[in-house]
Structure 1
Amino acid sequence: MAFYNEMALLALEMISEFGQSVTICATTVGEYDPETGSAPPNTVIDQTVQGMLIDFTGQELQNNSLIKQGDKKLKIAAHGLDWVPGLLNKVIVQGRTWSIVPPLKEINPAGTPILYELQVRS
């Protein structure tokens, strides 16, 4: 396990050096209260992480019909995350907001998360 922890740290160092800051936003919808007839406002939680926004290759576009024109691949270092990104989260990179679309991949040999690979769409 120590080896994979070192790999997670190395992934963070490399993405920090060659990538950029990315904000992941998670929105929690307020639960409807039938007694008051209303719901509290939504809660938004942000976390800033290190990531790399990359174009899909021509081969990937040919082999995967779920990738649309303009979609990007976002690789995020797993080490130090407060929470894991999910499909309902939004991602802000360079001032542009992206939605996460399936698949969301977690690279985690031996159960130690090293990297998350997201397909994002604006």
Structure 2
Amino acid sequence: MSFYDEMAATTLDLITEFGQPVVIRAITVGEYDPETGTAPPDTITEQTAQGILLDFTGQEFQNNSLIKQGDKKLKIAAQGLEWAPDLLNKIIVQGRTWSIVPPLKEINPAGAPILYELQVRS
């Protein structure tokens, strides 16, 4: 096991202990068929991850004008995910659905994903 694999495992352990389960939901829109005039239903894919939902600090509000009142910072452990979150996904935490606001940060020293840091908005 490499150093970064150990870091990813430690990150997952800590976030599991001090965080909570979050659901990452990807929705694939059915492609319209002009011959039939219909589209198949959307496909919803979900995975459960471990995350920590945090408030932004006053300093972060001062330094980043893209943060709005009510936005949260969500840190998700990368280890064990089937796929990485992207900007079109929805996040469900404590029964509340959040959208991801750019930028989505991936902490990946030496190309090994350890943590995703997201700004989310409901």
Match for residue 56 of structure 1? Answer: 56
- The root-mean-square deviation of aligned C-alpha atoms, in Å, is 0.8
Deviation at 1:37, TM superposition (A): 0.9
**Counterpart Cα distance in 2 of 1:83 and 1:30:** 20
What's the TM-score, normalizing by structure 2?
0.98
Match for residue 28 of structure 2? Answer: 28
**Counterpart Cα distance in 1 of 2:51 and 2:68:** 21
What 5-or-longer segments of structure 2 have no aligned partner?
none
Between the two proteins, what is the percent identity of the paired residues?
A: 78
Deviation at 1:27, TM superposition (A): 0.1
**Counterpart Cα distance in 2 of 1:49 and 1:81:** 7
**Counterpart Cα distance in 2 of 1:86 and 1:108:** 15
**Counterpart Cα distance in 2 of 1:112 and 1:51:** 18
**SS class of match (1:14):** helix
What 5-or-longer segments of structure 1 have no aligned partner?
none
Deviation at 1:3, TM superposition (A): 0.2
Match for residue 4 of structure 1? Answer: 4
What's the TM-score, normalizing by structure 1?
0.98
Q: How many residues align?
A: 122
